[in-house]
Structures are given as structure tokens and as C-alpha cells.
Structure 1
Amino acid sequence: MTRPKSTSAHVQPTLAQLRALIAVVDAGGFGEAAAELNVSQSSLSEAVGKLEDLTGRPLLRRSARGTVPTPAGLRAVGHARSAVQAAGDVLLAAQDDSQLSGVLRVSSFRSGATYLLPPVLVAFRQQHPAVTVKLLDGDRAGAGEQLLRSGQADLALIEGVSAVDLSLTPLLMDDYLFIAPESRGTQPVTVQELAESPLLLSPRGDACFQRIETYLGRLGIDTSSATEFEQDSVTLGMVRHGLGITLMPRLALLPVPDGLVLLPLPEPLSRPLAVATLPWRARLPLIQAFTAALVASLGSASGQTTPLALPVWNQSPKLEPEARG
């Protein structure tokens, strides 16, 4: 049913109304959104109703999946996110670099959240105790970019060297390795071995599988019969017991389990890692500070002058760090 449009041409939606729409869309229902915002369901319904009065059409509808946006609501919620974000950015832009506060939402894939972010979070918390960092799941292909563009994340660790409409700061190149039972030995890996070995890989929906599928396809190797596992630890356990081989980025292998041999691939494969944000938000002090902390952490860990370098490793089965002078 079409709602009557407001008679005042100058009337604009309030931030409270926009936040109400966003909350209901994200939560999938008025009750859930009210609980998350710690407000009454009636006040949330009233805010969305007033917004619908202004637009002259319904923005939400009930379905078997809960409360979902109508086509008009789907278009509106994207602009609502931008408006709410821009209002908050006014305050963030005025902050002093030495007195940062607020909430920073960081999206990351699993291995980045496990091994790259923890030391950064410790150092960042010590330097900026008034900032709360929330981690978001960006494990599926394109999830980090989508969270940024929808306004649900402020920063995202992503794989790639370019992304449409995003500002990227390169972090490192993460090499993929061949992983097999330790009993295999350390002789060089051949294309024939890759073709003839049972493949144990991550799920087809994530970026890692897609990159490996493309790589093996160039070598003439079909991945249609590969066995998929959600958890890397499960995959490595299967490999350790001789049920197949796998390919994984070096970062995802830390700490290296016993009973495995890790070797270079016949042809190199790597994934470039970067931290991404929206270009018009890249200079916000809070975002600049966290990006700088991440780059500094990687540079310190690698002992290199450039962030585009992982720590130097031996090619031994244990993948131990080389001694540094």
C-alpha cells in the first residue's frame, strides 16, 4: 500500500529514523533490532513508520525469512547507511591524533584475524584505550569489500591489489605451499603429482578455493573431485594421515602442525594482502592510525623496510624462521 507523502517539501528524515531502518534490516525484525538498540519495539516501529510516510511507500515487509526490505527499502537503506556514516565522520574527522575514541569495525578473513591482527590490537589498545575495535567476518570471497561499501565496516583486510571504489594499502605477499604427509619427503613437487594426488581443499565459496582452482586450471588439473573442508585444522589432520594433499597460503599454516611437509609449488602462487577502506574515509585520523599500526606491525615482524614482505622462512618441513644476525 502506498503511503501519503509528506505535505512539507523541506521535511527531511532524521538520523534516528535512518538508524531505525538500518537496524531492522540488519537484524531481520523489529523485536531483534529493538533488543540490539536497547529501545522499545514501538518506538522503532514509529520511527520507521514516519520514514515511510516521508517516502510515500513501504520500506519493509514481513516474509518467511523475517522482516525484509522492499525494493524501495533496499535502495533507501544504502543511502541511509551513507548518511549515518557521514554524520559520524564529522566527529571522527575533528578528533586529535593523540586522543582517538569511538568504535572501529574491522573485517578480516580467518587467517588474518588469527595471526595478523592480534599483535596490532594489543599495540593499538595501549596507544588508544578509548577506541573499541570490533572484528567482523570477511572470510567469504568479496565479503570485506561488501561490508565496506554497505557501511558495515570501516576497514577490511582483503586479498587483491585493486578494488573498485576502494582505497588500498598493500601489506604483504602470502605464498601458497604444497602440504603433504611428512613421510612423502622433501623432493620437489611436480605438476604430475598435483594431478594424481587426492585434493583436500577449502569450500568452493571462499577466495582461497577460487584462487587455487584458477591456478590448477592453468596447469590442466581439474578440481571437481576435490574434497572440501570448512576448517583448516580438519584439512591438515586429513593430510597428516595420508588421505590427500592440500595447498594453503603460508599465513594460514601458523603454527605449523607436526607430521607435515611444506614445499614450494611447481609454479609460484601467492595472494596479495591489503587493508581497504572507502577513499573519502581514508584520511580520518582513526582509520589512518589503525592502518599505520598494521603496516608498522608487519614491518617490525619481518625485519624489512617494506610491508610487502613476509618473514623469511627456510624450505624445511618444519617451516622454521631463519636465524637473523
Structure 2
Amino acid sequence: MTDRTPPAPSLAQLRALIAVADAGGFGEAAAEYGVSQSSLSEAVAKLEALAGRPLLRRTPGGTVPTEAGARVLTHARAAVQAAADALLAAQEENGGLSGTLRVASMRSAATHLLPPALAAFRARHPRVTVALLDSDAGGGGAPAVRSGRADLAVILADEAPDLRLSPLPPDEYLFVAPAARGTHPVTLAELGAAPLILPPHLDSCYRRIRTYLAARGVSLTAVSEVEQDSVILSMVGHGLGVTVMPRLALLPLPPGLVALPLPEPLARPLALAALPHRAGLPVIRAFTQAVLSHLPVPELPAKEPGPLPVPVSAPPLN
């Protein structure tokens, strides 16, 4: 019987396609990965011959996948990742882990939640390199995990039910105003009366805060949208309005400001996310355990609202 199984692409060909698509061009991919442009072109051409159609096309803005190429890329990433995972699965936590672990995180969590776990993990598994990726600048942590650009990510738990989630302490939202306001309790009327400065409307924090206020019948006097947290806090400090911001994004609280609990609690649910079929890999499991074992102790709420305390500094990221 004749074997009619069609030829399969090689991992090298799939890696070439991924490299060019991610870099936006053959020359850019060649420079980034230290290979010749001709070898990438040859690998992609052979892959396109196997597929029977173009997978990439050149545009004025760079080289982008065709519709077929976008579909192929999804499986190419999974195939390349699965090949690497085959060896990762053979490792033993007690026998010494090695390799590179890519962890995407929003800046606030990377600053205040992850450093204790990073220090403990590095001490126990010195042959694993942990690369931190900025999910604020990279389109989000959940998409990075799904695409294989990150192995783990700190994300908002209610935005990725398809991923394997390890819950982290919720991040409480606080009302922030000039310190001259004092520390008496915040009211819903106050939230509606003062000019409110928030992140852009496409930001999840904006949507969460507006939903919270709308559910309580708060009609806002004025809303300004500002992209950078530091700019928002500076504007509040200069009396241009007030804001509502997650606790982790506030630390350390700039001088001249006061941060107080909202009239009714609001928090963003954080979680460490991985693809379900990869969550059991020894290196991913070990890092997840390190994070869960070294979480900062949550502060108990005061009986009377007071200014946001400044925590002990976390170990620096190297």
C-alpha cells in the first residue's frame, strides 16, 4: 500500500514563519535572530509550497500574514511550543529546572507582587531565567499566554475564563484626592460632584469604575481621560480633580495625596494564568507555587479610614 501521507512542515520552517510575522519583515527577523535573510526566505518559501498558497504578503507597513497565514500561525506557534514542552515535561523540580520562563504582568503587579516570588524562585532554580514582559505595553497578558509569547501572566481573572487561573489577592480600588481634603469617609455624592480623572475609556479600570458608579446611581459632573497613572496623580495633587485607582497602581503614594476606601468596596480580581495543558509543566508549576507562597500579607482595613500606608520596599527587579 502506498503511503499517501502528505509531507509535514519542519519546525525550522514554522519558526521562520513565526519570526518573520512577529518581526514584521525578513530583514528585521534576520537581524533579531542572528540568521541570514536568505535562509528565512527559503524556509518560508518551502512552507508556502507545502501549503499551496502564500502565507505572508508585503505591505507598505511591513510583512504581514495572509488570511491563510494567520490560520497557519496559530498552529505553528502551538507546534513549536509543544516541541519545546516535550523536553520541559521531562524535567524534575527536585532534579533542577532549566530554561527560560516568560512572565507577562501589568507594571503594578510586577512591582509589588512578583519580586518576592522571583527572589525565592531564583534561589531555588538558578538555571531558570525568568523574563518579565510588560503586558501594559504588549496588548495584555491573556493574549500573550494564548499566543505562546508568555508562559504565565498576571491578568484580570474575569477576562480569561479559558485559561488555568491561580487566584491572587484582589486589588482594592481607592479614592484619591488632595491631602487637604482630610480623611473623613468618602460618599457617593462626593464622587459625583468632583471632576473625575480616569484612564482612557478602553481601559478595563475605566469600565470597572464607571460600572460601579452607574450601578449606584452616581451621575458624574465631569470626566477627564488621561493615559498615564503618574500624570493622573500629578493632576490630582494640583487640585484638578480626584481619581479612583487600584491600590497596587498607587504605591508608593505621592506626597500631598490621600487614598481612602470607597463607600462600598470595589476590587479587580487578579490571577496568575497559564494555558490549561501547560499548567502542569514542572517549571510553570514551580513558579506558580513560588508566587502563591510569597504573596504580600494583605493589610487589615483600619476602623477609621486613613491615608494609604507606604509598604516596605520589595526586592528590586534585576
Match of 1:14 in 2: 10
Match of 1:199 in 2: 196
SS in structure 2 of the partner of residue 172 of structure 1: coil
Match of 1:244 in 2: 241
**Which residue identity lines up with residue 244 of structure 2 in the other structure?**
L
The correspondence for 2:44, drawn from 44, 48, 53, is 48
Please state if 1:316 is matched with 2:301. no
Number of residues of Structure 1 aligned to a counterpart in Structure 2: 307
Quick one: structure 1 residues 218 and 140, their matched pair in 2 at CA, closer, same or farther if it must change by over 3 Å?
Answer: farther
Quick one: structure 1 residues 312 and 61, their matched pair in 2 at CA, closer, same or farther if it must change by over 3 Å?
Answer: same
Match of 2:73 in 1: 77
What is the deviation of 1:162?
A: 6.6
The correspondence for 2:34, drawn from 33, 38, 63, is 38
What is the deviation of 1:137?
A: 2.3
Give the alignment's Cα RMSD to 1 decimal.
2.1
Match of 1:267 in 2: 264
Q: Distance in 1 between matches of 2:89 and 2:219?
A: 51
Quick one: structure 1 residues 224 and 60, their matched pair in 2 at CA, closer, same or farther if it must change by over 3 Å?
Answer: farther
Native 8 Å contact 1:15 1:84 kept in 2: yes
The correspondence for 1:209, drawn from 206, 210, 216, is 206
Q: Deviations over 1:23-82 (max 9, x none)?
A: 111111111111111100000000000000000000000112200000000000000000
Quick one: structure 1 residues 260 and 24, their matched pair in 2 at CA, closer, same or farther if it must change by over 3 Å?
Answer: same
Structure 2, unpaired ranges of 5+: 313-318
Native 8 Å contact 2:260 2:308 kept in 1: no
The correspondence for 1:108, drawn from 87, 105, 109, is 105
Quick one: structure 1 residues 297 and 320, their matched pair in 2 at CA, closer, same or farther if it must change by over 3 Å?
Answer: same
The correspondence for 1:179, drawn from 166, 176, 179, is 176
SS in structure 2 of the partner of residue 165 of structure 1: coil
What is the deviation of 1:229?
A: 2.2
Which stretch has the larger CA shift, 191-200 or 48-57?
A: 191-200
Please state if 1:139 is matched with 2:129. no
- Aligned identity (percent) is 61
Quick one: structure 1 residues 59 and 180, their matched pair in 2 at CA, closer, same or farther if it must change by over 3 Å?
Answer: same
Q: Distance in 1 between matches of 2:83 and 2:138?
A: 30
What is the deviation of 1:263?
A: 1.1
Q: Distance in 2 between matches of 1:96 and 1:18?
A: 29
Q: Deviations over 1:263-299 (max 9, x none)?
A: 111121111111010110010000001111111110x
SS in structure 1 of the partner of residue 280 of structure 2: coil
What is the deviation of 1:141?
A: 10
SS in structure 2 of the partner of residue 275 of structure 1: strand
**Which residue identity lines up with residue 145 of structure 1 in the other structure?**
A
Please state if 1:150 is matched with 2:161. no
Please state if 1:122 is matched with 2:110. no
Which stretch has the larger CA shift, 221-230 or 262-271?
A: 221-230
Runs of 4+ in 1 over 6 A off after TM superposition: none
SS in structure 1 of the partner of residue 294 of structure 2: helix
Quick one: structure 1 residues 318 and 148, their matched pair in 2 at CA, closer, same or farther if it must change by over 3 Å?
Answer: closer
What is the deviation of 1:219?
A: 2.6
Native 8 Å contact 2:279 2:285 kept in 1: yes
What is the deviation of 1:250?
A: 1.0
Q: TM-score scaled to structure 1, two decimals?
A: 0.89
Native 8 Å contact 1:261 1:318 kept in 2: yes
Native 8 Å contact 2:55 2:69 kept in 1: yes
Structure 1, unpaired ranges of 5+: 1-6, 303-309
